[in-house]
Chain A
Amino acid sequence: MKSDVKAQRTARGLSQAALGDAVDVSRQTINAIETGRYLPSLPLAFALARYFDVRVEALFDPNEEGPHS
């Protein structure tokens, strides 16, 4: 699963901790999602997509492999 979370976050100049606070998870969880070590739940995936104002499909691509997949 390829995640575009890091690109979206850095484009907005956000730290992992700030994004974590925004979607109510820890900095470590954001890091784990960005590095492909954790697949977020559906509610969290939607919360991230809503926060970045993009579609979930734009944030996560199941057809491509992430860094640790």
Chain B
Amino acid sequence: MIYQRSTTFWIAFQVLFALVCIGAGWYGGDLALGFACAGVLLASAAAFYAAGRRGKDIGGILTGVGDERVKSIYRDATFRTGEMLMYILAIWGVVSAAQGETNETLVAILMIFGALWIANIAWATWAARRPVKSVA
């Protein structure tokens, strides 16, 4: 699964993305914003590192790598985050429109979110038709 990566992968990804943020800030002429974005990502990477060292269980829940219970908790947390984000973005979009400040980026994100959701439902429905692999 694409969302199940090791703690090391996520730390490396966040550090790399922090560098990309700084680069984008520099390129866009707002280095402060780039550093702020990088700071958040590096803090998140540090939290992943600390959690991974504290316990295999916590590291697993953060990354989705682990046994069936860990994966179940991870999926539940990811689902809730996605669901909450969907409502937040939708409300944000409606409020922006009501204020006469339609945010084109937000509308594009909402459209992408909706399209991805439908695509994932279609994929999950198709995947659920396949026979389950037996476990030895």
Contacts and interface: CB of A to CB of B under 8 A. Distances in A.
Whether A and B are associated in the same complex: the answer reads yes
Contacts, number: 27
Contacts of A44: 68
A35 interface: no
B78 to A, nearest CB: 18
Interface residues of A, number: 13
B69 A28 contact: yes
Interface string B66-77: 111110100000
A26 B135 contact: no
A47 B69 contact: no
Nearest to A43: B135
A36 interface: no
B63 to A, nearest CB: 14
A54 interface: no
Interface in B64-115: 66-70, 72
A39 to B, nearest CB: 10
A4 to B, nearest CB: 19
Contacts of A47: 135
B32 to A, nearest CB: 42
A41 interface: yes
Interface in B3-38: none
Given A38-B69, A40-B68, A41-B68, 19 more contacts: A24-B67, A25-B67, A25-B69, A26-B56, A26-B57, A26-B60, A26-B66, A26-B67, A26-B69, A28-B57, A29-B67, A29-B68, A29-B70, A32-B69, A38-B72, A43-B135, A44-B68, A46-B135, A47-B135
6 contacts: A24-B67, A25-B67, A26-B57, A26-B66, A29-B67, A43-B135
Shortest Cβ-Cβ A-B pairs, 8 listed: A43-B135, A25-B67, A29-B69, A28-B57, A38-B69, A41-B68, A29-B67, A26-B67
